[in-house]
Amino acid sequence: MDFNYSNCADSISVEVSDIIDFTLLCENDIVSFTKRTTGLLKSVFEGNTNAKIDTTETFKSEIVYTKNGEKYISLYDLSADIVDILEDILSANNIMIPDECREGYEDEACIYGDTYTELQTVIMNVIYEWRSHT
């Protein structure tokens, strides 16, 4: 199978930019997000090409796990790690993404509430589509 990780990461970046205003970031930050996402995808899928995709929205604490002797890849955990990459970049630039769910606490994450959920869902969908066509 031909897994083009950078194409998937590019698609994720495009979808994320529809939710998060990428004009808030410099070009290097966007490139960094895409490269780090590519690296994560590669590290997860290489060597796990026969793993089943787990699409349940339940935290597993591991992206790749074994259940009843079969390997699975948790899209929920993988997408959360990709959102974390974006949060790291936003945090380094002191950027907080507005969200109706914000309560105004000083320690709130850069991506919060409905925005976090929307990003995670979009990322899961992109990866699922990409994986089903490779």
In the prediction, which pLDDT does 114 show? 96
Q: In angstroms, how far is CA 110 from the centroid of its own chain?
A: 15
Q: Residue 9: give the domain boundaries.
A: 5-48+79-132
In the prediction, which pLDDT does 82 show? 98
pLDDT band of residue 61 (cuts 50, 70, 90) is confident
Is residue 117 assigned to a domain? yes
Is residue 93 assigned to a domain? yes
- In tens, the pLDDT along 124-133 reads 999 999 998 8
Residue 39 main-chain phi, psi, to 5 deg: -60, -40
- In tens, the pLDDT along 8-50 reads 999 999 999 999 999 999 999 999 999 999 999 999 999 898 8
In the prediction, which pLDDT does 1 show? 44
Is residue 54 assigned to a domain? no
Q: How many domains does the chain have?
A: 1
Is pLDDT of 3 > 80? no
Query: pTM of the entire structure?
Result: 0.93
Give the Cβ contact number of residue 93 at 10 Å. Answer: 12
Is residue 34 assigned to a domain? yes
Specify which residues 64 forms β-bridges with. 73
Name the average pLDDT for the chain: 93
